[in-house]
Chain A
């Protein structure tokens, strides 16, 4: 079976096995890699623009040990050999700014754990609410989403996010990067109100934002002051949680969409002494691309499968946006923002950005791999397929960015082979049985 791992029978048996043995539950996470694996014959998309035709990739103890063209010779003693001729290998896709693990069924309040009461909540952590047993997660890794950043929402400072693998026994086991950053919502420059008379939405300058900006500024300066005291007489959880921002060990993610908001937000954060600033949303980031480049601020975009923000905007602007920023020298990642189940389509947004702008598919791939890894500061572990990095990768029938090629046949997380079964596949099999197929 190992020599022909992609036969239909094999896949069918796997699913059948899953259906009978683990019905109504997510399958067990992959066990730690027990012996070296060598995959040969595939087209390897390294993630940094490089493509190796007919390549070889080897990994052991969870780390990539070798990467090269066919005919080269990695140590293969005791290794599991996988022939992936005609297949494509990609680094695992990284999905930032999600509510994966924090949200199960949108309309059921009991399943929602991403929003806390209060305006300034830097101390609340997504880490501990992340539910590895969410039935959504297996459907994501089935499309190659191997890493998700779970992010709190609400208030002015929402809390801190953590980054997780899509496979693990519990949050402690699944977490890749704890408390990687704190999330701030910049008060928007424009406010929209719904008119009940004619059901229109009116958008005009937000007259009430200065108060919030002042609050943000004073919070930052007090947090910095708090940090300078080695042992404060009274512990302030909120201020203490912001320490890593000033130490440069965590990101400040600022949700800002309008051009003016972006500039104001970046300047405010920098003046407060915060080192790592990331703009999230960034609908109008193209207007301030030069500013962002100059200040080396990366952008985590809103879903680009969206309508233009204004009626007169170029109809394709959202599709073109990642490419525009990329060309302008801004580091950019694409996300599904507050979505959860939809993130399984993340690669398709990258594909669309290539189809609708002057960006190659290899560059577009980086919007959901390499750039995302660099933004969260996990570039030493994930984002590209390079020696020494985690062996977290996907084997697909074809181009992962295109529905026509995106068919994930094998997934490894830190070298462990992940069971790709999920609830939806089980239901598929169940009803195929009903119809005698």
Chain B
């Protein structure tokens, strides 16, 4: 009702007092007005820390001229008495697409497509379509009356807009939500720079993964730096020009989850830039690490809706993480505030902008101080874009951007009456609406017509017609300017509406009505009892919300308390040392401070040591999976033939339940590889499986490895006819890829060497930093080690020869299913083989794979590992190792080394991992039986002295989870019963990766390598 009226009203305003711009001609007589208004007797919230009670705000020409207790009003001031009302600065949203054109994609995302190797954007721009530094929001900004009205309605006055498209999105513009010309709205055309991890509408193949995005962005910073200092650069590049202009502006990075926040900050750190980061609302799950970034956050206000869990089997779809996030997400801002992390709110991403205040008030109910909430909507966003002198508070000289409210902005029944922008009034609700609430006796055609009950608030009255003493009917009602219209069906059994229209005179409503028969009759309603306000809940008290604990990681099986290194004496076990001592019977092992301190017989435990009886059990060092793709958000950067620049450490996912599952199979460390989509893959990451720890606590930075690949995947044999574009398409081409890249890397390394050796280094003469060639140069310098995905002997032989001729080393061939054919050549060069126990027959290049491969390589002196490349097989690598005994007769002790010591050697961590020896990391597993037996299972798995998996605790965990789950489900059922919106159960599970999974594209037979 109000909406229609206010639209009509504001339309009228436009035609009367639209102020033209100085340079613009005027159609009709000029209409310049001073806009001098004084708002008196108001509670003026100047900023979150300052409130003037009973004060006056004076504005003139769109600016605030004075604010205070005593303000002298100049002659000609229009005075508005706001007794009892409040004035707040109008709100600011820093993540808006208001007035921006919709970003459209040339072709749909996903599926198998012909690669587009070059940018579709013609002109002298950069090479990658997702780097749009030249995109200037001020040039594409066009005001949108409808969207402006929607934002004004919830109290916004100014928004920072940018084109939400691409990785580098260009600069943002600061605009007000006035309905006047863009020339007036535009406050600052270059207020900010914008970034994201999404390539948006770019149809270019590269980057196809998150780590590719990171690499592209990093390279772009380096290129821009080089471009700026190289006047004689051989290319004109508008994108780099623009990038250099915007990179010093306040920089905003849009992300969608906690780990992306951390990833964005890490990129910023490299270039001395502190991004302001838009998060996903799950920051509370990793609050300490988020705080350590020192970033200011932009927080969303869309909280998850409850799931409809009425059907228990349907409800099974929903994970613990989803249930718990539903419960805890509304408390996110409160947790962020408590951690003293500065943040602003945004309405971006809200399904329905009208829910904005509901969400804010929920956040306050969950413990967010109101002052913080106000700060997050006013002063803080203003300061982030260095616009404190224009917006965000009510100080003289600032824009007259403010809202008038009925009470405390965060109060339950608060109403925003008016939103003033640049001195112009926008009415949202009548400021002095007559209070017609009460109980009336209704008379129609001079006959008693029941009762009319009007409740609700004066601004939003609610109506009920009561007939036959107790039947309550909700009529259709419109009230405006003291005119009331009512329509209702008086008798349920008789169809037809009774329609009344009338006006208020004193306390009586009267007028004319039309009965369903068509007869016009008089009616009136006489007030019999004035509305009595039922005691409203005190909106200032915060209802403590009882919520469950935060888990690390925030998923099922997560820890309430992170496991800590313990002092342990394991007694009387069969100890597989992997050292010269071999397998010790009835031996003891002492663990202290995360290390193995003693191995021997009849050891006495240090004081405070926990004693574990190992009688009849086997103690081994933890399994190391040399080839794994667990705990990763993405796996393949297949956009180019070489992606040496990408780092798997950028996409480690500590929340992957497979970490816990592998611990349950005795695995303590995994080497996370890039996929096999291209000849030169990305830089691998090795992690310790510290379930619940942070990314940085898990990753071993000293392990510097890189994935290479040969064969059918890199030549795209099984990708269908659309993939016939990228070089190479044959094994012949693969060889040349290596020659080409390594020759360039050699030159690159040489140019840096000569630059570094000059005595007077001039920065401007430094070679262009290239992070792809950096990685290859490290290989040439023996600083980074290759793990190469390989199958058939011809290509294995080829790469060994390429390496020989260019003088670099191949560290490990992985898969290496035909390694048995070239085991002598591998042994001679000291190349290791990390293979499957018995896989074959899934594609042509594995036709001659044999289960005796590991044994044949082993007998030739190759360091052999058995790996998984599969989250399932990884949790029974002990069984896979046992197969090397079955096929080819590897001694059991040596077979066991293939999943422990040998991968440690191949990863150059055997100085600290892979065997049970004093001084090494206490990564240990206690098995209930011979570890190579099918009947063996871990009693516990320990990483650096802390027990991350324990068979008994696992059973307890399952029970606790069940209880917590049921508690949350009951809570959701209550929500549903209260009529709150619910959504259908739906689980979002991260994909399980194998090395052939191209991001979004899989090979013909998903699940096979």
Q: Is the CB of B856 within 8 A of A431?
A: yes
A427 cross-chain contacts in B, Cβ below 8 A: 820, 848, 850, 852
CB distance from A404 to the nearest CB of B (A): 6
* C-alpha spacing A387/B198, complex, angstroms: 69
* C-alpha spacing A435/B855, complex, angstroms: 12
B841 cross-chain contacts in A, Cβ below 8 A: 104-106, 136, 340-341
Question: If the complex has contacts A341-B840, A354-B935, A431-B856, are A106 and B1005 also in contact, measured as CB distance less than 8 A?
Answer: yes
| Option from A136, A315, A354 in Cβ contact (under 8 Å) with B954 | A315
A354 cross-chain contacts in B, Cβ below 8 A: 934-935
From B313, B850, B876, name the one whose CB has the most chain A CB atoms within 10 angstroms: B850
Q: Is the CB of A401 within 8 A of B842?
A: no
- Taking the complex as formed, is B114 at the interface, i.e. its CB lies under 8 A from any CB of chain A? no
- Taking the complex as formed, is B664 at the interface, i.e. its CB lies under 8 A from any CB of chain A? yes
Which residues of A in the span 248-303 have a Cβ within 8 Å of any Cβ on B? 258-260, 287
Question: If the complex has contacts A106-B842, A404-B930, are A424 and B936 also in contact, measured as CB distance less than 8 A?
Answer: no
Q: Quick one: closest B residue to A108, CB to CB?
A: B844
Q: Quick one: closest A residue to B958, CB to CB?
A: A314
* C-alpha spacing A425/B852, complex, angstroms: 8
CB distance from B677 to the nearest CB of A (A): 14
Question: If the complex has contacts A105-B842, A348-B934, are A203 and B876 also in contact, measured as CB distance less than 8 A?
Answer: no
Q: Quick one: closest A residue to B320, CB to CB?
A: A312
* C-alpha spacing A190/B378, complex, angstroms: 46
- Taking the complex as formed, is B102 at the interface, i.e. its CB lies under 8 A from any CB of chain A? no
Question: If the complex has contacts A403-B886, A435-B824, are A194 and B314 also in contact, measured as CB distance less than 8 A?
Answer: no
* C-alpha spacing A259/B314, complex, angstroms: 10
Q: Is the CB of A403 within 8 A of B932?
A: yes
0 or 1 for each of A411-437: is its CB under 8 Å from B? (1 = yes): 000000000000011011001101101
Question: If the complex has contacts A106-B1005, A355-B936, A424-B851, are A311 and B844 also in contact, measured as CB distance less than 8 A?
Answer: no
| Option from A107, A199, A203, A361 in Cβ contact (under 8 Å) with B1005 | A107
* C-alpha spacing A48/B852, complex, angstroms: 34
Q: Is the CB of B1000 within 8 A of A106?
A: no
Q: Is the CB of B1000 within 8 A of A312?
A: no
| Option from A344, A402, A407 in Cβ contact (under 8 Å) with B935 | A402
- Taking the complex as formed, is B885 at the interface, i.e. its CB lies under 8 A from any CB of chain A? yes
Question: If the complex has contacts A106-B843, A348-B879, A428-B852, are A402 and B933 also in contact, measured as CB distance less than 8 A?
Answer: yes
* C-alpha spacing A198/B991, complex, angstroms: 10
A194 cross-chain contacts in B, Cβ below 8 A: 110, 991, 1000
* C-alpha spacing A308/B658, complex, angstroms: 10
Q: Is the CB of A403 within 8 A of B879?
A: yes
Q: Is the CB of A407 within 8 A of B886?
A: yes
Question: If the complex has contacts A404-B930, A437-B859, are A196 and B109 also in contact, measured as CB distance less than 8 A?
Answer: yes
Q: Is the CB of B882 within 8 A of A403?
A: yes
Interface locus among B473-481, B901-909, B980-988:
B980-988
Q: Quick one: closest A residue to B989, CB to CB?
A: A201
| Option from B661, B712, B875 in Cβ contact (under 8 Å) with A107 | B712
Question: If the complex has contacts A106-B843, A199-B1000, A305-B872, are A310 and B934 also in contact, measured as CB distance less than 8 A?
Answer: no
Q: Is the CB of A203 within 8 A of B986?
A: yes
- Taking the complex as formed, is A17 at the interface, i.e. its CB lies under 8 A from any CB of chain B? no
Q: Is the CB of B1004 within 8 A of A107?
A: yes
Q: Is the CB of A310 within 8 A of B319?
A: yes
Q: Is the CB of B937 within 8 A of A205?
A: no
Q: Quick one: closest B residue to A201, CB to CB?
A: B989
0 or 1 for each of A232-256: is its CB under 8 Å from B? (1 = yes): 0000000000000000000000000
- Taking the complex as formed, is B961 at the interface, i.e. its CB lies under 8 A from any CB of chain A? yes
Q: Is the CB of B314 within 8 A of A424?
A: no
- Taking the complex as formed, is B321 at the interface, i.e. its CB lies under 8 A from any CB of chain A? yes
- Taking the complex as formed, is A356 at the interface, i.e. its CB lies under 8 A from any CB of chain B? yes
CB distance from A6 to the nearest CB of B (A): 15
- Taking the complex as formed, is A131 at the interface, i.e. its CB lies under 8 A from any CB of chain B? no
- Taking the complex as formed, is B847 at the interface, i.e. its CB lies under 8 A from any CB of chain A? yes
Q: Is the CB of A355 within 8 A of B934?
A: yes
- Taking the complex as formed, is A214 at the interface, i.e. its CB lies under 8 A from any CB of chain B? no
- Taking the complex as formed, is A85 at the interface, i.e. its CB lies under 8 A from any CB of chain B? no
- Taking the complex as formed, is A204 at the interface, i.e. its CB lies under 8 A from any CB of chain B? yes
Q: Is the CB of A403 within 8 A of B934?
A: yes
B850 cross-chain contacts in A, Cβ below 8 A: 424, 427-428
A356 cross-chain contacts in B, Cβ below 8 A: 937
CB distance from B118 to the nearest CB of A (A): 22
B873 cross-chain contacts in A, Cβ below 8 A: 305
Q: Is the CB of A203 within 8 A of B317?
A: yes
0 or 1 for each of B978-1009: is its CB under 8 Å from A? (1 = yes): 00000011111111100000011001110010
Which residues of B in the span 940-998 have a Cβ within 8 Å of any Cβ on A? 954, 958, 961, 965, 984-992
CB distance from B909 to the nearest CB of A (A): 26
* C-alpha spacing A434/B856, complex, angstroms: 11
Q: Is the CB of A315 within 8 A of B660?
A: yes
B634 cross-chain contacts in A, Cβ below 8 A: 199
Q: Quick one: closest B residue to A402, CB to CB?
A: B934
0 or 1 for each of A112-149: is its CB under 8 Å from B? (1 = yes): 00000000000000000000000010000000000000
- Taking the complex as formed, is A345 at the interface, i.e. its CB lies under 8 A from any CB of chain B? yes
0 or 1 for each of A80-114: is its CB under 8 Å from B? (1 = yes): 00000000000000000000000011111000000
- Taking the complex as formed, is A47 at the interface, i.e. its CB lies under 8 A from any CB of chain B? no
A311 cross-chain contacts in B, Cβ below 8 A: 319-321, 555-556, 657, 987, 989
| Option from A200, A316, A403, A406 in Cβ contact (under 8 Å) with B988 | A200
- Taking the complex as formed, is A211 at the interface, i.e. its CB lies under 8 A from any CB of chain B? no
Question: If the complex has contacts A196-B111, A204-B985, A428-B852, are A352 and B876 also in contact, measured as CB distance less than 8 A?
Answer: yes
Q: Is the CB of A404 within 8 A of B990?
A: no
Q: Is the CB of A315 within 8 A of B664?
A: yes
- Taking the complex as formed, is A307 at the interface, i.e. its CB lies under 8 A from any CB of chain B? yes
Q: Is the CB of A403 within 8 A of B937?
A: no
Q: Quick one: closest A residue to B848, CB to CB?
A: A427
- Taking the complex as formed, is A209 at the interface, i.e. its CB lies under 8 A from any CB of chain B? no
| Option from B198, B314, B882, B991 in Cβ contact (under 8 Å) with A205 | B314
A355 cross-chain contacts in B, Cβ below 8 A: 929, 933-937
CB distance from A315 to the nearest CB of B (A): 5
Question: If the complex has contacts A306-B872, A356-B937, A403-B934, are A312 and B319 also in contact, measured as CB distance less than 8 A?
Answer: yes
A287 cross-chain contacts in B, Cβ below 8 A: 313
* C-alpha spacing A341/B873, complex, angstroms: 16
B1003 cross-chain contacts in A, Cβ below 8 A: 107
Question: If the complex has contacts A194-B991, A348-B934, are A204 and B321 also in contact, measured as CB distance less than 8 A?
Answer: no
CB distance from A421 to the nearest CB of B (A): 13
- Taking the complex as formed, is A197 at the interface, i.e. its CB lies under 8 A from any CB of chain B? yes
Q: Is the CB of A403 within 8 A of B885?
A: yes
B954 cross-chain contacts in A, Cβ below 8 A: 315
Q: Is the CB of A196 within 8 A of B1000?
A: yes
Q: Is the CB of A204 within 8 A of B317?
A: yes
- Taking the complex as formed, is B871 at the interface, i.e. its CB lies under 8 A from any CB of chain A? yes
Q: Quick one: closest A residue to B209, CB to CB?
A: A199
Interface residues of A (CB under 8 A from B): 104-108, 136, 190, 194-205, 258-260, 287, 305-308, 310-312, 314-316, 340-341, 344-345, 348, 351-352, 354-356, 361, 401-404, 406-407, 424-425, 427-428, 431-432, 434-435, 437
Given A196-B111, A355-B934; 20 other pairs, CB 8 A cutoff = A105-B843, A106-B1008, A107-B843, A199-B634, A202-B987, A204-B987, A205-B985, A307-B658, A310-B319, A311-B987, A312-B556, A345-B838, A355-B936, A403-B886, A404-B882, A424-B840, A428-B856, A431-B823, A435-B824, A435-B860
A to B CB contacts below 8 Å, 25 in the list: A104-B841, A105-B844, A105-B847, A107-B844, A107-B1004, A197-B198, A198-B256, A199-B991, A201-B988, A205-B984, A259-B313, A260-B313, A307-B658, A307-B661, A311-B320, A315-B954, A355-B929, A355-B937, A402-B934, A403-B885, A403-B934, A404-B885, A427-B820, A428-B852, A431-B820
- Counting from the closest, the 9 A-B pairs by CB-CB distance are A196-B110, A312-B556, A351-B934, A355-B935, A107-B843, A403-B882, A204-B986, A428-B852, A424-B850
